Amino acid sequence: MSDPAEPAAAAVRTQERDGVLVITIDRPEARNAINGAVARGVADALDRLDDSGGLRVGVLTGAGGVFSSGMDLKGFLAGDVPVIAGRGLGGLTERPPRKPLIAAVEGYAVAGGFELVLACDLVVAGEGARLGVPEVKRGLVAGAGAAVHLPQRIPPAIALEMLLTGDPITAGRAAELGLVNRVVPDGTALDGALELAAAVAANGPLAVAVTKQIALAAPDWSHAERWTRQGGLMGPVFSSEDAQEGARAFAEKRPPVWKGR
């Protein structure tokens, strides 16, 4: 059973790799079910990602060949709530990080585990992975993002089929629907995510962060305001030292050296 006093460090491991912060849910004995300790550990790791000038991209994964089986129901019944106020399930679903976050999925990413995946910006999945929202099979509602976001991410009829039947889909089907960026051989999702993260991390950090902000916010902007809003966000990037460095490095045919300012 989940222990409400379980320290976050025991449930979530982190490792820095060349500007990438790998965040691993480390409860393989519970199929990486999300409890309070996981939520606190993920939230702490995401704060570290956003606050560190040396970190450019985050990768979220699970230990033991499983991404996450969702909310720890035993812990929930014992009063261990895996939600951080203002941040949502797992410390992520309501307030993702400012910097890019990539999910590396092996095995099952279901229920709340799938909702963590939906909160990530990019997804790399092993070909044997299964993704889905079985909440209705347990008399629950996928309230940590799937019921809200899934009909906007994929055709509504397909989203409703997933939500109302609770049946999972394969990684290949998820890729066809646009939920997964890359499908890789089982056991290599983390390697694939790190490869993708390296490609993102090589770019200007200010430009990457603002590009993500614009891309995610733009659907809520009216036609009349979108250019003004985008311009306000872009201005500081175009006047930054990094913008000058990017142009200079291109002219000098060398890799840029970003300063994040």
Write b or e for each residue in 151-182: b if 16 or more Cβ atoms lie within 10 A of its Cβ, otherwise e.
Answer: beebeeebbeebbeebebbbbebbbebebbbb
Q: How far apart are CA 7 and CA 38, in angstroms?
A: 9
Given the residues 135, 176, 241, 245, select the one marked as catalytic: 135
Query: Catalytic site residue 115?
Result: yes
β strands within 142-186, DSSP E: 169-170, 182-184
Q: How far apart are CA 11 and CA 36, in angstroms?
A: 9
Q: Can you give the length of the chain in residues?
A: 261
User: Is residue 189 within 8 Å of 125, Cβ to Cβ?
Assistant: yes
Given the residues 94, 115, 161, 176, select the one marked as catalytic: 115
Task: Supply the residues annotated as catalytic.
Answer: 115, 135
